[in-house]
Amino acid sequence: MKKIVLDKGFIELVDKLGDDLTPVNAARVSFDGFSESFSDKDKKLSKYLIKHKHFSPFRHQHCMFIIKAPEFVMRQWYKHVVGIETTSTHPTKDHAWNEISGRYVPYEDFYEPSDFRKQSNDNKQASEGLIDDQKMAKRLWQEAQNTSISNYEKMLDLGMAKEQARSILPLTVYTKVWWTASFQSIMNFIELRDEATSQIEIQEYAKALKEIMMETFPETSKIWFEVYNQ
Ligand SMILES: Cc1cc2nc3c(=O)[nH]c(=O)nc-3n(C[C@H](O)[C@H](O)[C@H](O)COP(=O)(O)OP(=O)(O)OC[C@H]3O[C@@H](n4cnc5c(N)ncnc54)[C@H](O)[C@@H]3O)c2cc1C
């Protein structure tokens, strides 16, 4: 399942573990019970677990995604460090990330917004509405971006190492990562990033993720979003 996001990005679900019955059956192990098909009883139990923050059963459902996003979006995404593995003492236990390397592969795609937003007056980190001079904003943006990309390509032609040439690229450069995370962790991401104070571009990814989760774990996701008004 693949959702297109922004001008050249996407989120693709490449694998998953578990289904809507997984958390209720994980919870039922306490009294050695098991459900074969999702009934009203399972719906009630799911809701109870979600509402009362019994979250560990929701760490048995996992999703593996390939994400293509601009670097300035991924920098925010990287702050979500809790992945699938939470029990060992291995130093990388919380990380389920792998990323394309600009040391091996030259970068080709760059994000270009369709419109340019105004700085918000009451929220120092947010945007609000559009700036008046869209034409000038576009010109300045493209001028800076094109110079950077064209010099990068010229430096590669000169034979410069990719690892060094890439250091002049703008944060609009598209990167590609594999991200594996538990249902709980993905819901935490959606709660924080499909939210008005979050950056608009990452909101777009959170909304796409929300659709994927609704299609992948329809019962669990629906109840979760209802309980937390998302
Ligand atoms: C609108 C917005 C603005 C932001 N601005 C900034 C900013 O200016 N600078 C900046 O650096 N970051 C910023 N962030 C990132 C933010 O601080 C979090 O790092 C990010 O949202 C990841 O959230 P998380 O820690 O819940 O996710 P995860 O790392 O996936 O953690 C998931 C959950 O696990 C639990 N958990 C994780 N680690 C621990 C731990 N060590 N101890 C106990 N419990 C733990 C918590 O319950 C946590 O919610 C911003 C985020 C948002 C949404």
Domains and CATH numbers, the chain: 2-105+175-227 (3.30.1360.170), 117-168 (no CATH)
Q: Is the CB of 81 under 6 A from ligand 1?
A: yes
pLDDT, residue 32, reads 82
Tell which residue, 165, 162, 7, has the closest CA to residue 100.
162
Amino acid at the residue 62:
H
d(CA 173, CA 71) in angstroms, rounded, equals 6
The CA-CA-CA angle for residues 34, 38, 42, to 5°, reads: 70
Q: Is the CB of 93 under 6 A from ligand 1?
A: no
Sheet of 174-182, strand order: 2-5, 9-17, 62-70, 174-182, 97-99
Task: Using the mean position of ligand 1's atoms as its centre, give its distance from the Cα of residue 202 in Å.
Answer: 15
Per-residue pLDDT reduced to its tens digit, 44-54: 999 999 999 99
Per-residue pLDDT reduced to its tens digit, 178-190: 999 999 999 999 9
Per-residue pLDDT reduced to its tens digit, 139-148: 999 999 999 9
Task: Using the mean position of ligand 1's atoms as its centre, give its distance from the Cα of residue 188 in Å.
Answer: 9
Tell me what the pLDDT averaged over the chain comes to. 92
> Of residues 84 and 108, which shows the higher confidence score?
108
Q: Where are the alpha helices (DSSP H) in 117-199?
A: 134-157, 162-165, 183-193
Task: Using the mean position of ligand 1's atoms as its centre, give its distance from the Cα of residue 94 in Å.
Answer: 13
Active site residues: 193
pLDDT, residue 122, reads 86
Q: Where are the alpha helices (DSSP H) in 102-133?
A: none
